[in-house]
């Protein structure tokens, strides 16, 4: 069997993202007003007050994964798009299998600043406040499971034992209310902190850490225990008398002209996605230290060290398995139509009495917690030509619940005038010699505009990027006030006074 319905899930998760924060190429953009999101010790340089344009101050989208590029799944030929799921694909499924790492992991994150402003006091204190709406989605699948499902000619070869502990899914939608402070303790040392209140809106969490499956061509045996949690006010999960689970989503009646109920439709208000379902806290910490007449700046920051506790409308499905079931789809062959194969598999899954090993927890008080993806940034920047040109090195460590990732990036930064910041960078881990980072920050009078992207693909083949597992884009618009005089202008004025 060359194709399996699970492949759809793998494709979807493989196009999801890495860990989101603002694009890291902004780290050394000194005149960018929102770079304190990367280090709370960063203070405004050249201006005193910034006010974010509501909804446009900072928009951040991050997409990627740890195994695949788009060309692993599809090709463009003669203007037509071919995918690995076609009946006669021009891509072999082996190309997908060979690229899978031990565990295929993917994350998707977005951030939208709704309210954002900051101001300095006596040029040594900086206070900022922001309200953001954020999403964080992650998934992981063990690659042996993927290879097993894809690389089978027919179901008579289905056999093996698989550990599902690395099969995970997390979905979180929440609002962040952040209050930040930075203080310049002396000419060299600046410290900063940001305190965040987190209001959770929607959450789904799956933990199969103790679940295994033993499979052969006609019987699957599940053993162990797992948990699935969800927190969403319009969804209610109940145990039915026949042992099945009932997922009840709020519905409303549809009546005819006589007032008779003729049908039902889902009654989901967009506001249902933003009601508070959980609460949490997080903190950012940062520091900078200058050396060699301020030419060398060392910096470090800890970001998003916190959690959300979900309690309101939280529900739990328990998987308590020590059972097997017959799998009667063993007559599927390689040459079968993939749609027919998927339908046959779905029919089999619908027939199986899965209620033998799962049930809804009907306890009154169900709570669970989800952690944010923690980040550790350590940077060094050396400046030339009165800080108009600099070279920066940035180490980045991302710590998720199921995935830790390290990056090391080198950046060249150009600041010919305070109205322009340009940065270009390369990451030694994810760059693969075919990706760069680009950032541009423009201060046009009181209007600040910026756009930045990590992992911009340089190599394309057949209309698709090669060696690029994702990208990260940040853009925004802010208003800057209280511009101070630059060093050169101050020196010219002193010279005029002396003359």
What's the CA gap between 180 and 72, in Å, rounded? Answer: 43
pLDDT below 70 — which residues of the chain?
Answer: 1-21, 71, 76-101, 144-160, 215-220, 242-244, 251, 253, 264, 322-357, 402-403, 430-433, 462-463, 485-499
Q: Give the pLDDT confidence score for residue 380 in this predicted structure.
A: 97
DSSP labels, 160-203: EEEE-TT-EEEEEEEEEEEEEEEEE-SSSEEEEEEEEEEEEEEE
3-state secondary structure of 138: strand
What's the CA gap between 1 and 152, in Å, rounded? Answer: 5
Q: Per the structure block, which two tokens stand in for 110?
A: 């977005």
Q: Give the pLDDT confidence score for residue 337 in this predicted structure.
A: 56
For 257, other C-beta atoms within 10 Å of its C-beta total 5
Nearest of 393, 399, 231 to residue 315 by alpha carbon: 231
Q: To which residue do tokens 């026949």 refer?
A: 242
Distance from the first to the final alpha carbon of the chain? 87
The C-alpha angle with vertex 415 and arms to 410 and 418, in degrees rounded to 5, equals: 140
Nearest of 100, 102, 78 to residue 90 by alpha carbon: 78
Q: 45: which residues sit within 8 A by CB, 6+ positions away?
A: 30, 31, 418
Q: Per the structure block, which two tokens stand in for 473?
A: 């884009």
Enclosing H/E stretch for 236: strand 235-239
DSSP labels, 289-301: EEETTTTEEEEEE
State whether the Cα torsion 15-283-479-421 is positive or negative: negative
Q: Give the pLDDT confidence score for residue 11 in this predicted structure.
A: 36
What's the CA gap between 339 and 346, in Å, rounded? Answer: 11
Q: Give the pLDDT confidence score for residue 326 in this predicted structure.
A: 54
Q: Give the pLDDT confidence score for residue 97 in this predicted structure.
A: 64
- For residues 4 and 158, the answer to whether their CB atoms sit within 8 Å is no
pTM of the predicted model as reported, rounded to 2 decimal places: 0.81
Q: Give the pLDDT confidence score for residue 164 in this predicted structure.
A: 76
- For residues 193 and 180, the answer to whether their CB atoms sit within 8 Å is yes
What's the CA gap between 364 and 312, in Å, rounded? Answer: 10
Nearest of 24, 33, 29, 22 to residue 413 by alpha carbon: 29
The C-alpha angle with vertex 13 and arms to 12 and 16, in degrees rounded to 5, equals: 100
Q: Give the pLDDT confidence score for residue 8 in this predicted structure.
A: 35
Question: Mind spelling out the 3-state secondary structure of 450-476?
Answer: EEEEEEEECCEECCEECCCCEEEEEEE
Q: Give the pLDDT confidence score for residue 177 in this predicted structure.
A: 98
- For residues 44 and 50, the answer to whether their CB atoms sit within 8 Å is yes
The C-alpha angle with vertex 150 and arms to 147 and 151, in degrees rounded to 5, equals: 75
Q: Which long-range contacts (CB under 8 A, 24 or more apart) does 180-183 make?
A: 180/36, 180/40, 180/118, 180/126, 180/127, 180/128, 180/129, 180/130, 180/284, 181/40, 181/125, 181/126, 181/127, 182/36, 182/40, 182/41, 182/42, 182/43, 182/125, 182/126, 182/286, 183/124, 183/125, 183/126
3-state secondary structure of 363: coil
Q: Give the pLDDT confidence score for residue 442 in this predicted structure.
A: 96
Q: Give the pLDDT confidence score for residue 432 in this predicted structure.
A: 57
């Amino acid at each position: 069997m060359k194709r399996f319905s699970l492949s759809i899930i793998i494709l979807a998760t493989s196009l999801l993202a890495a860990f989101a924060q603002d694009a890291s190429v902004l780290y050394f953009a000194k005149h960018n007003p929102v770079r304190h999101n990367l280090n709370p010790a960063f203070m405004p340089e050249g201006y005193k007050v910034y006010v974010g344009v509501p909804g446009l101050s900072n928009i951040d989208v991050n997409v990627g994964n740890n195994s695949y590029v788009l060309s692993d799944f599809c090709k463009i030929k003669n203007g037509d798009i071919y995918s690995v799921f076609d009946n006669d694909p021009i891509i072999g499924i082996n190309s997908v299998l060979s690229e899978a790492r031990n565990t295929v992991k993917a994350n998707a994150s977005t951030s939208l600043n709704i309210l954002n402003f900051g101001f300095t006091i006596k040029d040594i204190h900086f206070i900022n406040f922001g309200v953001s709406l954020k999403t964080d989605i992650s998934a992981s699948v063990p690659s042996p499971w993927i290879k097993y499902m894809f690389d089978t000619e027919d179901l008579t070869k289905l056999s093996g034992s698989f550990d599902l502990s690395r099969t995970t899914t997390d979905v979180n939608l929440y609002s962040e209310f952040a209050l930040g402070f930075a203080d310049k303790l002396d000419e060299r040392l600046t410290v900063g902190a940001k305190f965040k209140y987190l209001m959770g809106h929607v959450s789904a969490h799956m933990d199969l850490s103790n679940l295994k499956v033993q499979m052969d061509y006609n019987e699957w045996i599940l053993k162990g225990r797992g948990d699935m949690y969800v927190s969403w006010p319009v969804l209610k999960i109940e145990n039915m008398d026949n042992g099945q689970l009932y997922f009840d989503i709020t519905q409303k009646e549809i009546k005819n002209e006589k007032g008779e109920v003729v049908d039902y439709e889902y009654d989901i208000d967009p506001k249902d996605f933003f009601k508070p379902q959980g609460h949490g806290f997080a903190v950012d910490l940062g520091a900078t230290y200058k050396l060699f007449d301020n030419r060398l700046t060392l910096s470090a920051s800890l970001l998003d060290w916190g959690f959300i506790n979900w309690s309101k409308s939280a529900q739990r499905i328990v998987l308590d398995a020590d059972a097997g079931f017959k799998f009667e789809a063993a007559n599927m062959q390689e040459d079968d139509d993939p749609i027919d194969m998927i339908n046959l598999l779905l029919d089999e899954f619908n027939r199986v009495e899965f209620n033998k090993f799962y049930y809804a927890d009907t306890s009154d008080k169900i709570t669970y917690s989800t952690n944010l993806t923690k980040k550790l940034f350590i940077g060094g920047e050396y400046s030339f030509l009165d800080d108009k040109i600099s070279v920066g090195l940035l180490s980045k460590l991302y710590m998720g619940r199921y995935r830790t990732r390290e990056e090391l990036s080198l950046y060249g930064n150009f600041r010919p005038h305070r109205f322009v910041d340009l940065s270009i960078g390369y990451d030694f881990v994810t760059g693969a010699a075919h990706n760069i980072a680009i950032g541009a920050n423009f201060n046009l009078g009181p209007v600040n505009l910026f756009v930045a992207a990590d992992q911009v693909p340089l190599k394309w083949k057949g209309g698709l990027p090669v060696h690029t597992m994702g990208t990260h884009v940040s853009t925004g618009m802010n208003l800057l006030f209280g511009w101070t005089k630059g060093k050169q202008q101050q020196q010219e004025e002193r010279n005029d006074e002396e003359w």
